[in-house]
Structure 1
Amino acid sequence: MDFVKVWESKWNEALKLWSDYVKLTPAKFLFSEYEEKEEGLTASFAAIRLKDHRVLLSVKQIKSYQLEDYALEILGHEIGHHVYCPGDLADQAKLIYITNLAMPRLNHLTSMIVNIYEDLFINDHLKKQNHLRMEEVYQKLGKQKDPFWNFYMRTYELLWALPSSTLTEGSLCDQIQSDAALVSRMIRNFPNDWAKGMFDFASICFPYFFGENNQINSNSIKILMDTIDAGKGMTPPSGITEVEISSELFPMDGITGSKKALTPAEYSTICKSMGIEADISEITYRYYKDKALPYLVPFPERKTPGAKEEILEGNDLWDPGSPIEKINWMESTIKSPIIIPGYTTVEDVYGETTSNEIKVNPIDLDLFVDCSGSMPNPQNDLSYLTLAGAIIALSALKTGSSVRVTLWSGEKEFLVTDGFIKNEKEILKVLTGYFGGGTCFPLELLEDQYKVEPKRKRHILVISDDGIDTMFTQSYPRDPRAIVKNALEKANGGGSMVLQLYQPNKNPVVIELQQSGWEIYPIQTWTDLIKFSKDFVERNYVRNQALR
């Protein structure tokens, strides 16, 4: 194990291969199969972990491949994954997505192709800029007759001007020679923008795995897989709901040359490919939050000029029925050293006086989102209902409003947050759920919530379609119209319904709702919800923003 001490002493030197300013926790050496299993290092002799920016090394496997003399080469390579390619989880996710597009039906190989592509850039940098013995590391690993392996090794031979057969085995066909030449130019053309070449590289790799006769020797290639589970232990990444696809060699209309929006299902697949162990609700929450952020707008708030200012007028006896935090303990102790609640405890008494201050009164949001069978499942496809709800709810939270979200479908079939809350994660987890059943508006929630007028104004917002008529047409033990009218009055912050209607002017329930004070916003398609969510504030509140 003497080589371990040598490698540890070379850690700082390996960091300086990339920059004098790079700081990483020293590599972790694993001395037993148990340690390797615990850390997830089973096939390769080295790996990275993005969660804690760590390099993992298998002492046993390094010895078995006789790599003890290549400390800088291997340490420098692993550090390169942290500081150069991919660098972070978001870039890794983008490369995986692009590769999935280029290799349909072979997505199980995506992580491997991405890993090999990243290795090409890192190894070429270390060879050309630092003159390290990268080719000798591959010579230690041994030659293979596999076509893909030879294509990969031939690329290194061309990049480093090595004689043929230095890394390859046997006579190479014209296709391998041509592919290696293309990839070698790609590595040199995109050293600082390697995402541009990912689609083309994956497209070149695709034929090597297509068909029964083109199965790579999995054991040989697994030796190199050091980024397979790089995202293990991490949360789903942000900033990848849209990915730009570039291609010089394989232009495909509708895919390359522009940004492509990911679906929630594709986002989930990417997370799993990186080793991220998160449930579907967590992944979907991250997706819609990221999708909503560019659209956030200020939520309406009531501004009251000349708001009353409180001034202390004295003390009064604290009533045991009042909140305990109202007790003025200092004054109570002065009055009597022996504290007897309700007898010797006092609370402050405040009066009011006019001031020039402007009091801001956020309007809380009571959001009802239809989740019946006519609506898309937000966990598989982009749901504009969910996205609009996320935009409006997150906007409300920005100005101090509290939000209650109700996801509803059939009778007694609804999911609701624990009252009006400010926890964005809990709000979006409810929004991203799915029932897909019948349609029956949850009148009981309106009835229970608005028995008394709330302390703060609330705006009730309903997103649905023609199924909104169940608000009045369902069988309910009490008068639905009275319940809806009472809720709108008690909320005291207005009510809006954005509805996808087939015949907006002929739905009698919608007409009745509009006549009773609800603002109705008919839309043609669900994509119109994005514009609605951005216009929501101005259309409802600008004309009455200041109340005196």
Structure 2
Amino acid sequence: MNFVKDWENRWEEALKLWSDYVKLTPAKFLFSVSEEKTEGLTGSFAAIRLLDHRVLLSVEQIKKYKLEDYPLEIMGHEIGHHVYCPGDLTDQAKLIYIASLALPRLEHLTSRIVNVYEDLYINDHLKRYNQLRMEQVYQKIGKNKDRFWNFYMRTYELLWALPSETLTEGKVDDQIQSDASLVCRMIRNFPNEWSKGMFDFASICFPYFFESKEGNSSNFEKMSTIFDTLDAGKGMVPPSGITDIEVESELFPTEIGPIAKRSINPADFSSICKAMGIEAETSDIVYQYYKDKALPYLIPFPELRTPGAKEEILEGNELWDPGSPIERINWIESTIRSPIVVPGYTTVEDLYGETESYEIKKNPIDLDLFVDCSGSMPNPQSSLSYLTLAGAIISLSALRTGSHVRVTLWSGEKEYETTNGFVRNEKEILKVLTGYFGGGTCFPLDLLEEGYKEKPKSKRHILIISDDGIDTMFTQTYPRNPRAIAKNALEKAEGGGSMVLQLYNPKGNSIINEMGESGWELYPIQSWEDLIQFSKDFVQRNYVRNQILR
């Protein structure tokens, strides 16, 4: 137990191994199994936690492997994960995804392969630039006859010019020698661009587990003590910025090409989060995915601009009328006039006049979005749904200009989910958008009727994304005339109405043609992918060229 104080005193020295400017909270020492379990440190003698940028150290495990004399080697290694490889949650997520592509049917081992790969870079840096005794740490851990372990140790022997069997058990075969040589070159060639070698490294590792007679995971059970990044993302929210990832390969170009850009889907994103120890609700994971996917496409949503808007100027005070809103009372001026305030007698309100101004008054148009979620639509939680993505692009664009948004996800009769009115909470909006019903098709006329009984305070644009099933707006059995309800909504909204529809026969549906004749702007598309271009053209065509209204 005496070594703990010495290690604490050498924390700053460990930080300086990487830079004089690195600042991290001192390592947290765990003195019992219960503490280790609480903090999520299982199996290994050290680990990192990206949530609070902490290094966790097991006192009992360090004593078990007799590592008390290696404070700089161990703490320097853990600090390296925070400041060098991976450095942050986004880079960790990218490495996990790239590795998973090279490990078909072995995805459950991905985070461990990534951990080993990162350790190679960190250990080589500490050995070459700081002359630390990294090989002695592995000698303390002990040798292992496992083929993967010997391949891993042989890589270190080649990197550091160590004699054979310094870290390996017995003479290694030609395959291990060849694989270790390739990885050695990889580590030296990409010291600051680890993503370039991740696919190739995972591909080299694949046969050691796929062909294992002892089982795919038994190899790693013997070396669990070195895994320190398995739950690095525990307690964190899903990372951003990984909807599109570049995958490179020098050794296996026929598999993916030298460089391939992959777009991940929601299921991939969920798997990445799970592999990093992120325990988030599916709705939160899908919300982050579609928000990131929409960001590159955000466009200005329509707004009314009035140049030369009148500017109010204070001209004085006048007696406040008891019938006027109480917030108009100027309490300071009223108190100055009379210490005893008598509403309607001694209370005054400010009097304003108007003058010409060069300011432009902006009046955002609110968005009323209806997205079809019947059985013919993709589930946005398992695959990329362009309906959801288009809804996210347009909704987030509307929020940028100050608009309020109501989103309704609809399927069968009385089967819909909607936001709590017109809101500006992007998480509430995307939570509705990323839901799924997969039932029948019946447009929610009751929402359209209820929402437009009175003329809204702000202009609204009604946007519907659907397919041929939109004809249920007119053909369903409803207590009141559906056509009159739709017409009334368009008139009261005053911001127009659009329908973007994937139609099997754009000209052959008489009901949909009638909708176009009754005031709805129809935008037929051939595939759901066309919704991305529609999202951009929608604003340009209808509003941007005609923004200034006098």
**TM-score relative to the length of structure 2:** 0.96
Distance 1:319 1:21 in 2: 65
Check 1:82–1:114 CA distance in 2 against 1; reply closer, same or farther (3 A cut): same
Amino acid at match of 1:10: R
Distance 2:431 2:344 in 1: 44
Offset at residue 328 of structure 1 (A): 2.6
Q: Which moved more, 1:504-513 or 1:72-81?
A: 504-513
Which residue pairs with 1:430 in the alignment?
432
Which residue pairs with 2:493 in the alignment?
491
Distance 2:319 2:415 in 1: 49
| 8 Å contact from structure 1 (residues 3, 68) kept in 2 | yes
The superposition leaves residues 305-352 of structure 1 with CA deviations (integer Å, 9 ceiling, x where unpaired) of 221222345344365783x54443223434554556677655445444
Amino acid at match of 1:241: T
Where 2:6 maps in the other structure, the secondary structure is: helix
Offset at residue 543 of structure 1 (A): 4.2
Offset at residue 537 of structure 1 (A): 1.0
Which residue pairs with 1:25 in the alignment?
25
Check 1:452–1:162 CA distance in 2 against 1; reply closer, same or farther (3 A cut): same
Which residue pairs with 1:271 in the alignment?
273
Amino acid at match of 1:206: F
Offset at residue 388 of structure 1 (A): 0.7
| 8 Å contact from structure 1 (residues 316, 349) kept in 2 | no
Check 1:254–1:485 CA distance in 2 against 1; reply closer, same or farther (3 A cut): farther
Check 1:373–1:342 CA distance in 2 against 1; reply closer, same or farther (3 A cut): farther
Distance 1:367 1:316 in 2: 46
Offset at residue 169 of structure 1 (A): 0.9
Offset at residue 172 of structure 1 (A): 1.8
| 8 Å contact from structure 1 (residues 47, 226) kept in 2 | yes
Check 1:450–1:341 CA distance in 2 against 1; reply closer, same or farther (3 A cut): farther
Check 1:302–1:170 CA distance in 2 against 1; reply closer, same or farther (3 A cut): same
1:42 aligns with 2:45: no
Distance 2:482 2:203 in 1: 60
Which residue pairs with 2:479 in the alignment?
477
Which residue pairs with 1:173 in the alignment?
173
The superposition leaves residues 266-297 of structure 1 with CA deviations (integer Å, 9 ceiling, x where unpaired) of 00110011011110110111001100111111
Q: For residues 63-462 of structure 1, what are the structure 2 equivalents within 5 Å?
A: 63-211=63-211, 213-215=213-215, 216-254=218-256, 257-312=259-314, 314-317=317-320, 319=322, 322=325, 325-334=327-336, 336-338=338-340, 346-462=348-464
| 8 Å contact from structure 2 (residues 319, 346) kept in 1 | no
Check 1:345–1:375 CA distance in 2 against 1; reply closer, same or farther (3 A cut): farther
Q: Which moved more, 1:257-266 or 1:243-252?
A: 243-252
Distance 2:105 2:126 in 1: 34
Which residue pairs with 1:526 in the alignment?
528
**TM-score relative to the length of structure 1:** 0.96
Amino acid at match of 1:200: D
| 8 Å contact from structure 2 (residues 468, 501) kept in 1 | yes
| 8 Å contact from structure 1 (residues 318, 327) kept in 2 | no
Check 1:315–1:451 CA distance in 2 against 1; reply closer, same or farther (3 A cut): farther
% identical aligned pairs:
75
Structure 1, unmatched stretches of 5+, are none
Where 1:287 maps in the other structure, the secondary structure is: helix
Q: How many residues align?
A: 547
Distance 2:219 2:444 in 1: 58
The superposition leaves residues 172-223 of structure 1 with CA deviations (integer Å, 9 ceiling, x where unpaired) of 2221111111111111111111111100111111111114514334443210
Which residue pairs with 1:464 in the alignment?
466
Check 1:340–1:43 CA distance in 2 against 1; reply closer, same or farther (3 A cut): farther
Distance 1:320 1:30 in 2: 69
The superposition leaves residues 390-421 of structure 1 with CA deviations (integer Å, 9 ceiling, x where unpaired) of 11111111111111111111111111111111
Q: Which moved more, 1:480-489 or 1:534-543?
A: 534-543
Offset at residue 251 of structure 1 (A): 2.2
User: What is the aligned-residue RMSD (CA, Å)?
Assistant: 1.7
Amino acid at match of 2:119: D
| 8 Å contact from structure 1 (residues 403, 422) kept in 2 | yes
Distance 1:338 1:284 in 2: 60
Distance 2:334 2:423 in 1: 34
| 8 Å contact from structure 2 (residues 153, 167) kept in 1 | yes
